[in-house]
């Protein structure tokens, strides 16, 4: 295993290096950095298993570093070392799910206890999560389920979401032996997806999630029904909050609907699906939207798709990739719609952009 120490005080880094029983925990390489940016460069280079960081540093501080680690390196175990007066940073440490928060001056017993916990959890998970991405075959299956569940979530079909997770569980049970780290990766993939879906829907997933769902740690030995059940509960709770939010609106918020379309136009949304999301009839939505914007819902969606496709073509994307990126798999239909809106074919738009360059 590998570790990185990030602290702008030399004596603190030196103390940690001397006090930690690295050999006992199987940590063979220890690097150090004086601040967050140089620490990130080292992390990107050696892909450590454990990061020990101060919170208050010049340049990129510990709070920003923890956010980056949570986003880009979710499987790294994180230990925070900080002064007593820095407890304002504790909230970010909690949000970033650090393993331990240790006060300075560093005590050998406390440091080694934190390292023992981090190393133990890494071993339980076989320490392979960050090193082994999902294989192509598994990734294609996961992508299909993510697309299906995303669509069902946006249509507020809680029952269908539950059925999809049941189907995924049944599929995984047919596998003779799961690859090391697979369950952990799948859980993380679907929890990240839930955060994205909640953000799109305007729901607060942090308050809606079951208390244990966000911090639930899945290993190769976690029973399949346990972590799939946790996902079902998490999605169900956030969906329930989303449904209540939509029902609590007594009138159509056209700006909210426009923002939703602006975020989701590349997905298979229709007048009916948007009306269902906002608990109004499609006739009422169509009439109100046109009065406010001068455009029908579908014309607005199509205009957004063509606008984005044109932008991609201007940036040298192929016609096929631009069409697929905005939700059109039928190239003939895409050509017809694009020409109707812009007055030129996709090929002409692409050539025109190339000529201007």
Judged against a pLDDT cut of 70, whether residue 194 lies above it is answered with: yes
Q: Dump pLDDT digits (tens) for 29-80.
A: 999 998 888 999 999 999 998 999 888 777 777 778 888 888 888 788 889 8
Sheet strands side by side (includes 50-54) = 29-33, 2-6, 50-54, 77-82, 100-103
- Predicted confidence at residue 70, as pLDDT, reads 81
Q: How confident is the model at residue 131 (pLDDT cuts 50, 70, 90)?
A: very low
- Predicted confidence at residue 142, as pLDDT, reads 83
Q: How confident is the model at residue 320 (pLDDT cuts 50, 70, 90)?
A: very high
What SS3 state is found at 103? Answer: strand
What SS3 state is found at 117? Answer: helix
- Please tell me whether the overall predicted TM-score, pTM, comes out greater than 0.75 for this model: no
- Count of other CB atoms within 10 angstroms of residue 257: 22
- Predicted confidence at residue 65, as pLDDT, reads 85
- Predicted confidence at residue 129, as pLDDT, reads 43
Q: Which of 3-7, 156-160, 180-184, 310-314 has the lowest mean pLDDT?
A: 180-184
Q: Which two tokens stand for residue 199?
A: 């953000």
Query: Once rounded to an integer, what is the mean pLDDT over residues 136-140?
Result: 73
Identify the helix (H) or strand (E) that includes residue 78: strand 77-82
Query: Once rounded to an integer, what is the mean pLDDT over residues 159-165?
Result: 93
- Predicted confidence at residue 20, as pLDDT, reads 94
Ordered DSSP codes for 172-216: HHTSSSPPTTHHHHHHHHHHHHHHHHHHHHT--HHHHS-TTTTT-
Q: Dump pLDDT digits (tens) for 202-231.
A: 777 767 777 777 667 777 778 899 999 999
Q: Dump pLDDT digits (tens) for 226-285.
A: 999 999 999 998 888 888 777 665 467 888 899 999 988 988 888 988 888 777 778 888
Percent of residues, the chain, with pLDDT higher than 70: 87
Nearest CA-CA partner of 57 in 12, 3, 110: 12
Query: Once rounded to an integer, what is the mean pLDDT over residues 169-179?
Result: 79
Strand 77-82, strand 50-54: pairing: parallel
- Predicted confidence at residue 296, as pLDDT, reads 93
């Amino acid at each position: 295993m590998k570790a990185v120490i990030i602290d702008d005080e030399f004596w603190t880094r030196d103390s940690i290096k001397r006090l930690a029983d690295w050999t006992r925990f199987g940590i063979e390489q220890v690097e150090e950095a004086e601040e967050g940016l140089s620490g990130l460069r080292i992390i990107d280079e050696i892909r450590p298993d454990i990061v020990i960081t101060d919170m208050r540093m010049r340049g990129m501080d510990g709070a920003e570093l923890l956010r980056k680690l949570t986003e880009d390196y979710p499987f790294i175990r994180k230990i925070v070392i900080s002064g007593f007066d820095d407890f304002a940073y504790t909230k970010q440490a909690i949000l970033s799910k650090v393993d331990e928060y240790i006060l300075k001056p560093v005590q050998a017993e406390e440091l080694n206890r934190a390292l023992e916990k981090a190393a133990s959890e890494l071993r339980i998970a076989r320490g392979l999560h960050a090193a082994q991405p999902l294989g192509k075959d598994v990734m294609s299956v996961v992508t299909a389920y993510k697309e299906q569940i995303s669509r069902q979530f946006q249509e507020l079909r809680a029952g269908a979401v539950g059925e999809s997770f049941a189907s995924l569980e049944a599929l995984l049970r047919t596998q003779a032996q799961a690859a090391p780290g697979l369950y952990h990766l799948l859980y993380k993939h679907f929890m990240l997806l839930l955060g994205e879906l909640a953000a799109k829907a305007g729901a607060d997933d942090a308050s809606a999630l079951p208390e244990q769902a966000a911090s639930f740690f899945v290993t190769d030995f976690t029973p399949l029904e346990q972590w799939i059940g946790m996902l079902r509960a998490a999605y169900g709770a956030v969906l329930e909050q989303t449904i209540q939010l939509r029902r609590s609106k007594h009138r159509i918020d056209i700006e909210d609907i426009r923002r939703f379309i602006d975020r989701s136009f590349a997905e298979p949304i229709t007048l009916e699906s948007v009306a269902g999301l906002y608990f109004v009839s499609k006739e009422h939505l169509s009439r109100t939207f046109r009065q406010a914007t001068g455009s029908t819902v579908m014309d607005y969606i199509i205009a957004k798709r063509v606008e984005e496709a044109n932008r991609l073509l201007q940036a040298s994307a192929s016609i096929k990739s631009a069409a697929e990126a905005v939700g059109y798999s039928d190239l003939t239909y895409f050509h017809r719609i694009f020409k109707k809106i812009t007055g030129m074919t996709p090929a002409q738009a692409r050539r025109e952009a190339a000529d201007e360059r």
